[in-house]
Amino acid sequence: MPPSHYTGLAGQSHDQPAKAGVLLVNLGTPEAPTAAALRPYLAEFLGDPRVIEYPRWLWWLILHGVILRIRPARSAHAYARVWTAAGSPLRVGSEQLAQALQQQLPEARVALAMRYGRPSIRSTIEQMQREGVRRLLVLPLYPQYSGTSTGSVIDALADTFRQLRWPPELRIVNDYHDDPGHIEALARSIEQWWAAHGRGEKLLLSFHGIPQRYVDAGDPYFRHCQTTAQKLGARLGLDPTQLIVSFQSRVGREPWLQPYTDITVQQLASEGVKRLDVACPGFAVDCLETLEEIAMQNRDFFTAAGGETLRYIPALNDSAEQVASLAALIRRHAQGWPEFS
């Protein structure tokens, strides 16, 4: 017989009770803050056509001929600034969130996968199937939809399902940028932080950027970010002079979503703002982009331009507010399944 092209579960009993599973998916992380560990991680991440929409042959030359020769060492230095004894902040925080959600959702098997790096989406789904999961709800930990993030997760799911002999029933949370429970969790987090540390003169909401041409081509990400900011500002009672939206993490020379965070913090400092609070509502869990880029790099930009202190308000992480809001979101999307009835 010719070899099979499909992955099955040898010896699986069809009498095994079916279970529901919840798969959280975050971006991913290198295995260590070293250039050697960054190289394969960046190759997978930046090699994703959802992330970089260039002709494949041209981008392959740029990626392997230039970027992967230079960027791993630079990124390793940044990761080393936030790496902890427990490992990558994004992995540790995501694992803690998954564990907290498992306690809130005893009716389902909750697991975590990374879009890039380990644990992979495919290996995690295969493990969940071995445990009897036949109904799968996937929650990408990206509140705002973008083809570069949630769209890429959907691609990875499709690639995985294409190779499974008996794929589970599938549901996907496309986004939760305007979910009332999520907005309330963000607002309470900021209010609690203000109660403990005092309030700055302005609140900057910094979202991860994407190229402007992606939005021009139909990506809803910019609109989703603006909606999150508008609803959060209304809930906090902030007027347009108190709340500012910006976009971080741009690379390359083409225009990305604006205004840019690094330029914005410098401009605010030059205009006389002394105490600036920054939150990043696009990140469910703290990571390199929040802990190093915002809390370190942009803090330095702000003070160098004349500001006194830039204070980063942590992501929701595994807070009770985020766990409760995501558990409610999951139960709503899983309605009709026996485990959630």
Helix (H, G, I), strand (E, B) or coil at 276: strand
Nearby residues of 40 by Cβ (< 8 Å), 6 or more positions away: none
d(CA 40, CA 289): 19
Question: Residues 150, 25, 277, 204: what is their CA dihedral angle, to the nearest 10 degrees?
Answer: 0
Pair of tokens at residue 268: 């605010």
For residue 316, give the nearest of 194, 141, 154, 120 by alpha carbon. 141
Nearby residues of 10 by Cβ (< 8 Å), 6 or more positions away: none
Residue 307 is which amino acid? G
Residue-wise DSSP of 8-36: --TT--TTSPPEEEEEEEEEE--SSSSHH
Output DSSP code: residue 339.
G
In terms of DSSP H, where are the helices of the chain? 35-46, 56-62, 68-82, 89-104, 121-130, 150-162, 180-197, 212-216, 221-236, 261-270, 288, 299-304, 320-333
Residue-wise DSSP of 212-254: HHHHHTT--HHHHHHHHHHHHHHHHT--TTTEEEEEE---SSS
Q: Annotated binding site for Fe(2+), which residues? A: 208, 289
Strand 109-116 to 169-172 pairing? unpaired
Compute how many other C-beta atoms are within 10 angstroms of the C-beta atom of residue 238.
16
**What is the residue whose two structure tokens read 């929409």?**
53
Q: Annotated binding site, which residues? A: 208, 289
299 phi, psi to nearest 5 deg:
-60, -45
